[in-house]
């Protein structure tokens, strides 16, 4: 299940059970099936390159060996009926399509998903758009998306931004957003879930994880790296501890502020029957401050450390407050901090201005900072599909 990982031991047990069940249903006998010439002729030879996907224990029905499923290119003939020993399949972001004429064979064609179709628009150049989304093999949005020459960020399968971003080259190259995807899935599927995975700022899993008051190190495959455990006060004893990444007691300022606020709220509840208007800080999966925070009746844009960015704000009840995401304000912050790329134009509430101009040309930009539509000369911005006389919402 994408976005949600089973505990490795539980996964191993399930694989074992399913393997036994499969053998029972098909009356598999290892001595017969795994030495059968018909079966072995389809097995993958590790000494040969596989121009496609390797399916571990993929031979059907008894899973005796690995299979190499070679990828077909767009336009090549494909099979719509699965076989016990498939040799070929349409490659990434392609699907096997039949035609209305019975005389035509099915062929591999591009998937008709929003992500793939946006790639098609980019590649055909029909709108001169400068943003090409990354899609996974199944046509959904890849977890990591990048704006040209500047910022990378995490998205869900539908391409909607979720926590996790990076502006420095090293962090962008390392980022996979797996932790951010997992946390987003858990929150949407199990509202109120606690003890969520710890993520890094770029959306990757933090190798230092804590469950209640026990902290430990994990490997990239999410299994424990050793048997050493430590309380949050002694995380510096763990081999995965990095003082440039991990704060004292394994808690960033935002998390500490939430905990202090909860204690204060408990004390206030002992003295009052009803408490009105108390707002907690909003923390991301990395334990730092989310871009949008409340300050009294105002929404403000902040850095990961919680400092307000410029004067970006919006009053509660205004349209600017309802639409506020502060993605542009954060991009401006990273541009000033890292340097090397142009500062974007933002609305007063910290969102991206609906069109951006670079030199003599302008193009539309969506709420996530992705360009779309045609590219027009500065003097012809009224031809942009996003052009309006009121580009930014009211903030009061």
In the prediction, which pLDDT does 15 show? 34
Beta bridge partners of 216: 209
Cβ within 8 Å of residue 96, ≥6 positions away: 78, 79, 80, 89, 90, 106, 107, 108
Residue 279: is its pLDDT beyond 90? no
DSSP string, 97-120: E--SSTTSPPEEEE--SHHHHHHH
Residue 292: is its pLDDT beyond 70? yes
Residue 271: is its pLDDT beyond 80? no
Per the document, the length of the chain is 396
In the prediction, which pLDDT does 148 show? 72
3-state helix vs strand vs coil in the chain, percent to 5: 25, 20, 50
Cβ within 8 Å of residue 4, ≥6 positions away: 182, 185, 186, 189
Residue 308: is its pLDDT beyond 70? yes
DSSP 8-class letter at 204:
S
Residue 66: is its pLDDT beyond 80? yes
pLDDT band at 19 (very low <50, low <70, confident <90, very high): very low
Domain boundaries, the chain: 1-97, 143-270+279-287, 291-396
First to last CA, the chain: 44
Closest CA to 206 of 176, 248, 170, 162: 176
Coil, helix or strand for 220? coil
Q: Which residue do the tokens 């932790």 mark?
A: 179
Mean pLDDT of the residues in the chain: 85
- For the residues 124-133, what does the mean pLDDT come to? 77
User: Which carries the bigger pLDDT value, residue 328 or residue 66?
Assistant: 328
Residue 319: is its pLDDT beyond 90? yes
DSSP string, 142-200: PSEEE-TTS-EEEE-TTS-EEEEEE-SHHHHHH---HHHHHHHHHHHHSTT--SPPPB-
Residue 267: is its pLDDT beyond 90? no
Q: How many CA atoms lie within 13 A of 237 on its CB side?
A: 11
- For the residues 104-123, what does the mean pLDDT come to? 92
User: Which carries the bigger pLDDT value, residue 212 or residue 18?
Assistant: 212
In the prediction, which pLDDT does 341 show? 82
Report whether 299 contacts 349 (CB < 8 A). yes
pLDDT band at 100 (very low <50, low <70, confident <90, very high): low
In the prediction, which pLDDT does 227 show? 75
> Which range among 69-78, 117-126, 163-172 shows the weakest confidence by mean pLDDT?
117-126
pLDDT band at 5 (very low <50, low <70, confident <90, very high): very low
- Residues of the chain above pLDDT 70, percent: 82
Q: Which residue do the tokens 């090549």 mark?
A: 76
Q: Which residue do the tokens 């290119």 mark?
A: 73
Distances (CA, A) of 35 to 22, 43, 164, 331: 18, 11, 49, 59
In the prediction, which pLDDT does 17 show? 33
User: Which carries the bigger pLDDT value, residue 173 or residue 105?
Assistant: 173
Element (H, E) at 9: helix 8-25
Neighbours of 21 (CB within 10 A): 10
Distance CA 148, CA 129 (A): 12
Is 1-97 in CATH node 2.10.80?
A: yes
The pTM for the full model equals 0.81
* pLDDT digit string, tens, across residues 321-352: 999 999 999 999 999 999 878 899 999 999 99
pLDDT band at 24 (very low <50, low <70, confident <90, very high): very low
Give the tokens for residue 385.
């599909």
pLDDT band at 194 (very low <50, low <70, confident <90, very high): confident
In the prediction, which pLDDT does 225 show? 82
Distance CA 199, CA 247 (A): 13
In the prediction, which pLDDT does 4 show? 40
Which overall architecture, per CATH, does domain 143-270+279-287 show?
Answer: Irregular (4.10)
Closest CA to 150 of 304, 324, 328, 325: 328
Q: What 3 state SS string does 260-311 have? A: HHHHHHHHHHHHCCCCCCCCCCCECCCCCECCEEEECCEEEEECCCCCEEEE
Beta bridge partners of 360: none
């Amino acid at each position: 299940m994408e976005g949600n990982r089973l505990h490795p031991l539980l996964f191993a047990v399930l694989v074992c059970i399913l393997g036994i069940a499969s053998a029972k249903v098909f009356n598999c006998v290892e001595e017969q099936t795994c030495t059968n010439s018909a079966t072995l002729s389809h097995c993958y030879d590790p000494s040969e390159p596989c121009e496609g996907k390797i399916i571990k224990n993929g031979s059907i029905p008894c899973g005796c060996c690995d299979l190499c499923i070679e990828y077909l290119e767009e336009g090549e003939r494909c099979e719509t009926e699965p076989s016990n020993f498939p040799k070929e399949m349409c490659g990434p972001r392609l699907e096997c399509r039949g035609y209305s004429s019975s005389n035509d064979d099915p062929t591999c064609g591009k998937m008709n998903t929003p992500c793939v179709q946006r790639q098609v628009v980019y590649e055909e150049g029909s709108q001169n758009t400068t943003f090409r989304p990354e899609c996974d093999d199944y046509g959904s949005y890849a977890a990591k998306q990048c704006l040209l020459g500047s910022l990378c960020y995490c998205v869900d399968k539908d391409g909607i931004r979720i926590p996790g971003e990076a502006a420095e080259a090293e962090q962008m190259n390392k980022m996979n957003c797996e932790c951010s995807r997992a946390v987003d899935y858990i929150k949407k599927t199990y509202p109120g879930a606690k003890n969520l995975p710890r993520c890094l700022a770029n959306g990757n899993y933090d190798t230092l994880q804590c469950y209640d008051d026990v902290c430990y190190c994990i490997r990239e495959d999410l299994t424990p790296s050793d048997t050493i455990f430590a309380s949050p006060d002694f995380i510096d004893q763990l081999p995965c501890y990095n003082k440039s990444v991990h704060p004292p007691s394994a808690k960033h300022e935002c998390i500490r502020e939430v905990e202090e606020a909860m204690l204060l709220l408990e004390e206030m509840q002992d003295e009052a029957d009803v408490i009105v208007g108390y707002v907690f800080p909003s923390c991301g999966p990395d334990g730092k401050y989310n871009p949008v925070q409340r300050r009294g009746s105002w929404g403000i844009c902040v850095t990961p450390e919680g400092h307000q960015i410029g004067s970006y704000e919006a009053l509660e009840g205004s349209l600017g407050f309802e639409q506020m995401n502060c993605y542009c304000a954060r991009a401006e912050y990273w541009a000033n901090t890292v340097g090397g790329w142009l500062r974007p134009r933002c609305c007063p509430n910290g969102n991206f201005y609906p069109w951006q101009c670079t030199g003599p040309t302008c193009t539309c930009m969506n709420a996530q900072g992705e360009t779309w539509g045609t590219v027009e000369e500065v003097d012809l911005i009224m031809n942009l599909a996003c052009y309006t006389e009121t580009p930014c919402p009211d903030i009061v």
